[in-house]
Amino acid sequence: MPAATVAAQDLKTLTKQMRVDIIRMIEAAGSGHPGGSLSIIDTLAVLYTKFLKFDPANPSWEDRDRVILSKGHACPALYTVMAYMGYFPREQLMTLRKLGSPLQGHPDRRFLPGIEASTGSLGQGLSIAIGMAVAAKMDAKDWRTYCILGDGELQEGQVWEALMSAPKFGVGGLTVIVDHNNGQIDGPVSEIMPIESVVEKLSSFGWSVAAIDGHDFAQIEGALSAAKESQRPFAIVAKTVKGKGVSFMENVIDWHGRAPKKEEADRAVAEILRG
């Protein structure tokens, strides 16, 4: 069963609190990746509350939809959504990156039920997702596979090999979401290794493509709805803001992988709640 759906105004309130939890859990860990977690949280919230089939009480349910967070460093966002969906108590978020915690610094399916693939080595998640989508097709199952990619991750050659293979194998139950925040650890994606025009490139590879504002709930929902109806592999290029919701983090590369100290976290939380 999918989670209970929520209205747009409720999503705004929900994602504010999720952003607060992301800041607090990374603060508590003393390490982590706030920038990309804050940029993808809106999409993950819509995906889990409005589209996915899943059962937190039975994470291995055969007919569940699959989500692969290929940009594994953004796992604070995924963990936060999973906590709100009932996979584990929300209080456990504060154990991020602690010894013995199931909330590893990158997703690890050995330790946390509900994680479909261990990711973090960028470029590999889409290949895994395509394998899952092919399996669904072979078994005549209607569950869907979603793969979250970072835009810097598109610099990996394996991603483009995978993008070529999905149309060839006719996997229509596959949706890729590109978190296009133009930031990676070394600087802006547009300067390190440009990927534009990524929409045209994906289309030329045989994918159906939607370009959206990745912080607009209506656009996110519309694109995910179109993906669900598509008979072809579907890519959503979500233009986002790295560090969204915190003015001193937004589009600042330093916040790709730096934990806020208490004073910074307090300022960030205050801003989020005012926004």
At 17-56, the pLDDT tens digits run 999 999 999 999 999 999 999 999 999 999 999 999 999 9
Mean pLDDT confidence for 199-204:
97
Judge contact between 176 and 236, C-beta under 8 A. yes
CATH code that applies to domain 8-274: 3.40.50.970
pTM: 0.95
pLDDT at 275: 83
Give CA–CA dist 260/29, Å, rounded.
10
pLDDT at 1: 47
pLDDT at 235: 98
pLDDT at 174: 97
pLDDT top residue among 4 and 206: 206
Calculate ∠ Cα 176-178-181, nearest 5°. Answer: 170
Give CA–CA dist 179/217, Å, rounded.
15
Judge contact between 107 and 78, C-beta under 8 A. yes
pLDDT at 3: 47
pLDDT at 111: 96
The one-letter amino acid code at 9 reads Q
Q: Is residue 139 predicted with pLDDT exceeding 70?
A: yes
pLDDT at 146: 98
Q: Is residue 271 predicted with pLDDT exceeding 50?
A: yes
* Chain segment 174-200, per-residue pLDDT in tens: 999 999 999 999 999 999 999 999 999
* Chain segment 78-132, per-residue pLDDT in tens: 999 999 999 999 999 999 999 999 999 999 999 999 999 999 899 999 999 999 9
Judge contact between 236 and 175, C-beta under 8 A. yes
7-21, 145-159, 240-254: least confidently modelled range: 7-21
pLDDT at 40: 98
| pLDDT band at residue 223 under the 50/70/90 scheme | very high
Residue extents of the structural domains in the chain: 8-274
Judge contact between 134 and 128, C-beta under 8 A. no
The number of beta carbons lying within 10 Å of the beta carbon of residue 134 is 18
